[in-house]
Amino acid sequence: MILTVTLNTALDLTYRVPALTPHATHRVTQVIERPGGKGLNVARVLAALGHETVATGFAGGATGAMLRDLLATTPVRDELVTTAGPTRRTVAVVDTTTGDTTQLNEPGPAITPAEWAGFRTRFTELLDGARAVALCGSLPPGIHVGAYAELIRLARAAAVPVLLDTSGEPLRRGIAARPDLVKPNADELAQLTGSREPHRATRDARRRGAHAVISSLGPEGLLAATPEGLWRAAPPAPVKGNPTGAGDSAVAGLLSGLVDEAPWPERLTRAVALSAATVLSPVAGEYDPSAYEDLLPRVKVTEETV
């Protein structure tokens, strides 16, 4: 099975309105509720691809109970650890005229030392039988910035490949613990390395400890610095739509390729096709299966020489 970790889960609420106007009252035409947080998004896509998937992290309060009820309707196995504090909500307001999305993210609950210790124990137990683990998203209040580095060391001790997808100081600390993969976007990579030149920044990030670095270039696809070389993968043409969750779908594609022991070009192809199919999906954060199948043979993968 593949294990995903979401320490700062959320109940995702999407409101669709005909037009978003400041200082005005709006009539919402559609409300969508989903279990959210980057790792849960990854888990949902992996399960849709047919992988046995387990989700852990934290959930608490009435919001956490709603999240778990929604998660129970998916093939993802719930191994979330209960907290005293309530799970946060994220609200996305979609302007259906322009397609623009305005995002409002609440802070997460404060995690106590006892709750963190309980999670560490559960995480270690779940590593037994895991083929790969993904550590995704922000850290809730109360958890130290080296938490992901701590979890990476536990995964490495259990010989489980680990992917890290976070930002800021947790990324800086985590990459030094030598994860198998990291997947920063361009801004996160620039913050980590001080460079906005994609090739230089990706190679620099790899020198900091990661086995492989896959940098998200937005509509231009992915750039991967791997032990086998430098690769670039891009969709056959720019895609327009809602990019919410596209990066999480790319993570799912990378993990799917990893556990299937696919060569790097195939892993990147899956990641780019899933990411683009998520942008094209009418539901934010979900991928369009028909678009995915159509895109798979048309993703362009080239080996870079720079």
- The catalytic residue positions are 248
- Helix ranges (H only) for the chain are 38-48, 61-71, 113-127, 147-157, 168-175, 186-193, 198-207, 246-259, 264-280, 289-295
Tell me the C-alpha distance between 72 and 147, whole Å.
Answer: 27
User: How many CA atoms are closer than 13 Å to the CA of 205, on its beta-carbon side?
Assistant: 39
Q: Tell me which residue of 294, 274, 239 sits closest to 49, measured CA to CA.
A: 274
Tell me the C-alpha distance between 272 and 220, whole Å.
Answer: 9
**DSSP percent split of the chain into helix, strand, coil, nearest 5:** 40, 25, 35
Sign of CA dihedral 171, 172, 177, 181: positive
What angle (nearest 5°) sits at the alpha carbon of residue 104, between those of residues 102 and 109?
A: 160
CB neighbour list of residue 147: distance below 8 Å, 6 or more residues apart: 7, 116, 139, 170
